[in-house]
Structure 1
Amino acid sequence: MSKIPVTAVFDIGKTNKKFFLFDDKLAEVHSSYIRLDAIPDEDNFPSEPLAPLEEWMLTTFKEALQSPDYEIKLLNFSCHGASFVHTDENGNPATPLYDYLKPFPEDLLNRFYEENGGKMTFCRATSSPPLAMLNSGLQLYFIKYTKPELFKKIAHSFHFPQYLSFLFTGEMVSDYTSIGCHTGLWDYEANDYHEWVDREGIRKLLPPIVPGNTLLKTKPELGNIPCGIGVHDSSSALLPYIEQEKEPFALLSTGTWSICINPFNKTKLTKKELKCDCLHFLSIKGDPIKISRLFIGEEHKYQVEKLYEHFKMPLGTYKKLKFSAELYEKVKKSEVKRIHFQHLKPEDYGIDHPTESTWHLIPEFTEAYYSFIHELTDLQTAAIKLVLDNAPVGRLFIDGGFNANDIFVEMLRKKLPGVKIIPSDFPNGSALGAAMLVSMD
């Protein structure tokens, strides 16, 4: 019996690390995943567990190469952004993979903005809201001035997806989708790295930029298999829709972050949009795409844990709930805001929220959860409208974890009556996009 030819994809999220095999029609035929505990960096702040991740990826891939059922013909990587791997001259990591939530010294950040024309001038030039460590290019500035001995050891700085490709191929490259992901590195007017990159001696650390569909080869011990250069997960998640859809649409890609992408919005960013965490991505071809972001996955996790604890409910209770129009109308009529958000800033959107949560005054879990999702979708609706303004679309696809949340989806339908909202056919959109990218002729 002959083996099935497949494309292998590692889809590395902040929480779940997944491995997929897709057949020649890009149907998923195999998947596995692992969760890895964070490792403290030298400041005792959690960092990406890079060594365990590498070990799992290499072991998983070698096992797949030996499969009696599948023959790997192509390999690619989809990966969360805002993360850099800095290597020494031998290609070994020279620093931890710092978490994008790690604090950035305020005085150093202010100095950086002063050197670059002021905060909003810099943010507009680089289409990057002021996000401290989440502006991953600034991590190099942070290392240079707070950890100079570590900085001296850095010979190459890879965006995370391209580091994973390097791990398998030994080839050093950069790609547009990672560079354009709120890094503070790219000047969108000049269509080149921002001048600070040269002033601080950073450019020489960044591998050459190549097209997103470039194919390299895995190392001989890994089969000499054609291998992609990796792609930023949100950009990757967009690809299946662009290939399939002919009419304008937007995509809400959900998970730890909720990313609303309107590939038909080419307008420049305003100060208000930057304040509300709007930015541009670069497509695989280097074209700007307007997006908005919300940290809703982390917010949902935090609030639901509190609700479970208070109401003494078992884990997974909210997943069993279905949308009730009657209950929605009840929580909507309440003039009292119940939720104090931990990770979100409703005030940036002109939306009030209390200084303390009062959902504990609601007598039962389901209504309290509805109140939370009602207030969360108010914020999500405001973020979506930011990228639909001046470039309206008729349809909004939702993929990722929240597309299975019936209450979330139905509340968005109520709040965006002019837009057809479609839970996605591509639940593993970022992995599928990475597979498509290496399969393109």
Structure 2
Amino acid sequence: MKMKVTAVFDIGRTNKKFFLFDDNFQEVHREYARFDEIEDEDGYPTENLEALEKWAKEVFDKMLDSSKYEIESLNFSCYGASLVHIGQDGKPLTPLYNYMKPIKEDVSDSFYKAYGPEKKLSRITGSPKMGMLNTGMQLYWLKNSQPEIFKKIKYSLHLPQYLSYLFTDIPVSEYTSIGCHTLLWDFQKKEYHQWVYKEGIDKKLPPIEPSGKTNLIHYKGHKIKMGVGIHDSSSALIPYIRSITKPFLLVSTGTWSISINPFNEGILTPDDIKNNSLFNMRIDGSPVKVSTLFLGNEYKLQVKVLSEHFNVPHDAHRKVKFNKDLFFKINRDFVHMFKWHTIPSENMPDQTSIPYDNFDKAYHQLLLELVLLQEKSIKIAIGNSKIKQLYIDGGFSDNEVYIKLLSQFLNTMKLRTTNSSLGSALGAAIIISDKVLESKFLKTNYAVKKHSPFIKK
């Protein structure tokens, strides 16, 4: 007898993944793919949407014919800030524009002149001025730079919903994609912002469906329950929200360290905007306050400099163990020594100075300074929320020095690390399931570890 499974496409900027989960949300199959980027009409690199579509259809069709698995449901988790504009024939009219593509200043200036002021608009929409990272700005830019193309658009779909459309032929919008720093949503009125209607952009956006909505689709002789897709950051939250009863903060670490507060109340404050906070959205349309820090990227750059300075192997940082005595010595006479390449900070010196005689000492100094930035980012995300539980996942969750220092500086919080390579894919599977997660779900599936602050001298 075939095993009944849920299929999920988990689409990142670099890695494209396909998973099968059994009834207990255990991974039973996975496949990976990568595609070289192509260029848009301006020569800017972007996603090869055609290759992605072809791969997704081929992988899914192959698994439908599997003698081992019977796919009962399918969902999609994808990176945000990306739109596919389709015409009357259901085909894309433009490339999938890269959210890092620059926008000319005169375009954004005209927008904020018409619909600003910027700070007020950012607060209400939970969306700092971020260029193409605001998908609403993508639509405004397209309307002004390519009006003939804009007129031909039947629907503009965020990437998770476009992949769902490929398999269902049902165009929808969905809360977590709409609410991901898009400039589209008014978090006070809980509807599209007024500017969306004035520009006629609402007519390009299909009806909004709940994140957990499914449609029973007849696909190549099979009846399959298909989801509408979900934004990956919001999806990664679902296992935590469904299995933790008390308020918590999740810090997802990697190239970016993203502090995620699903329990924030009200719109962003002026200080939040000053500190570059933004809103994502939960599946029920409520805001998720987010504070970002370019932690992993900065760490990578600084570790490279240290490795070359001390003439040690490039992976020497992976072997450094936390040294409590070394920390006390550095902290006692603490001064900022590192000039950051990619993180703005008022405390950093004009140039980096490394007075230490070995790599381990300099590494502890580096991590101490980065953790101080991390502590600030976490406190910004928490704001006035009454949160005492802190979860760390991603690349830094197994960095002993980082975790020891963070547990010390946030010693009033219960800090736990989690380890799951499935992340958003698992959330996408859970959201279209009727199953209730047990309180031990994280412990069983995410290898949860508790961490306590070390005692000060």
Whether these two folds match at TM > 0.5 is yes
Q: Distance in 1 between matches of 2:280 and 2:123?
A: 13
Which among 405, 411, 430 is matched to residue 436 of structure 1?
Answer: 430
Secondary structure class of the residue paired with 2:88: coil
Q: Equivalent residue for 1:406?
A: 400
Is 1:214 aligned to residue 213 of structure 2? Answer: yes
Is 1:375 aligned to residue 374 of structure 2? Answer: no
Q: 1:76 to 1:222 in 2, by over 3 A?
A: farther
Q: 1:300 to 1:72 in 2, by over 3 A?
A: farther
Q: Distance in 1 between matches of 2:98 and 2:311?
A: 32
Q: Equivalent residue for 1:8?
A: 7
RMSD of aligned residue pairs (Cα, Å): 2.4
- Letter aligned with residue 229 of structure 1: V
Which among 323, 348, 352 is matched to residue 353 of structure 1?
Answer: 348
Secondary structure class of the residue paired with 1:290: strand
Q: Equivalent residue for 2:46?
A: 47
* TM-fit CA distance, 1:314: 5.0
Q: Equivalent residue for 1:245?
A: 244
- The within-5 A match list for 1:200-239 is 200-218=199-217, 220-221=219-220, 223-239=222-238
Q: Distance in 2 between matches of 1:194 and 1:232?
A: 20
Is 1:396 aligned to residue 395 of structure 2? Answer: no
- Letter aligned with residue 389 of structure 1: G
Any stretches of 5+ residues in structure 1 without a counterpart? Answer: none
* TM-fit CA distance, 1:118: 0.9
Larger Rg: 2
1:235-288 deviations in whole A, cap 9, x for unaligned?
Answer: 111111111111221111233432222222213311111121212222111122
Q: Distance in 2 between matches of 1:225 and 1:317?
A: 49
Q: Distance in 1 between matches of 2:129 and 2:350?
A: 24
Q: Which runs of 4+ in 1 moved over 6 A?
A: none
Mapped contact 1:168–1:222 kept (Cα < 8 A): no
Is 1:282 aligned to residue 300 of structure 2? Answer: no
Instruction: Please identify, of 94-103 and 323-332, the stretch whose mean Cα deviation from structure 2 is larger.
Output: 323-332
- The within-5 A match list for 1:301-316 is 301-307=300-306, 314=313, 316=315
Q: Distance in 2 between matches of 1:260 and 1:290?
A: 8
Q: Distance in 1 between matches of 2:221 and 2:270?
A: 48
Mapped contact 1:168–1:219 kept (Cα < 8 A): no
Q: Equivalent residue for 1:17?
A: 16
Secondary structure class of the residue paired with 1:390: coil
* TM-fit CA distance, 1:194: 0.7
Q: 1:318 to 1:207 in 2, by over 3 A?
A: farther
1:302-333 deviations in whole A, cap 9, x for unaligned?
Answer: 44455556556555443343333334445545
Q: How many residues align?
A: 435
* TM-fit CA distance, 1:97: 1.6
Q: Distance in 1 between matches of 2:332 and 2:427?
A: 41
Instruction: Please identify, of 300-309 and 404-413, the stretch whose mean Cα deviation from structure 2 is larger.
Output: 300-309
Q: Equivalent residue for 2:447?
A: none
Q: Distance in 2 between matches of 1:73 and 1:311?
A: 55
Q: Distance in 2 between matches of 1:190 and 1:32?
A: 42
Q: Distance in 2 between matches of 1:34 and 1:234?
A: 20
Q: Equivalent residue for 1:161?
A: 160
Mapped contact 1:213–1:440 kept (Cα < 8 A): no
Mapped contact 2:72–2:223 kept (Cα < 8 A): no
* TM-fit CA distance, 1:439: 0.6
* TM-score (normalizing by structure 1): 0.91
Q: Distance in 2 between matches of 1:222 and 1:255?
A: 41
Q: 1:324 to 1:92 in 2, by over 3 A?
A: farther
Secondary structure class of the residue paired with 2:247: coil
Any stretches of 5+ residues in structure 2 without a counterpart? Answer: 436-457
Q: Distance in 1 between matches of 2:54 and 2:356?
A: 48
Q: Distance in 1 between matches of 2:312 and 2:110?
A: 48
Q: 1:336 to 1:26 in 2, by over 3 A?
A: same
Q: Distance in 1 between matches of 2:283 and 2:25?
A: 20
* TM-fit CA distance, 1:435: 0.6
Secondary structure class of the residue paired with 2:280: strand
* TM-fit CA distance, 1:161: 1.0
Mapped contact 1:426–1:432 kept (Cα < 8 A): no
Instruction: Please identify, of 366-375 and 17-26, the stretch whose mean Cα deviation from structure 2 is larger.
Output: 366-375
Percent identity over the alignment is: 47
Secondary structure class of the residue paired with 2:135: coil
Mapped contact 1:135–1:183 kept (Cα < 8 A): yes
Mapped contact 2:214–2:228 kept (Cα < 8 A): yes
Secondary structure class of the residue paired with 1:408: helix
Mapped contact 1:213–1:437 kept (Cα < 8 A): yes
Q: 1:399 to 1:363 in 2, by over 3 A?
A: same
Q: Distance in 2 between matches of 1:88 and 1:297?
A: 39
Instruction: Please identify, of 96-105 and 423-432, the stretch whose mean Cα deviation from structure 2 is larger.
Output: 423-432
1:62-116 deviations in whole A, cap 9, x for unaligned?
Answer: 2222333222111111111111112222222222222222212222212211111
Mapped contact 1:38–1:46 kept (Cα < 8 A): yes
- The within-5 A match list for 1:178-217 is 178-217=177-216
Mapped contact 2:124–2:268 kept (Cα < 8 A): no
* TM-score (normalizing by structure 2): 0.88
Q: Equivalent residue for 1:386?
A: 380
1:367-418 deviations in whole A, cap 9, x for unaligned?
Answer: 4443333222222211110122311222111122322323322221122111
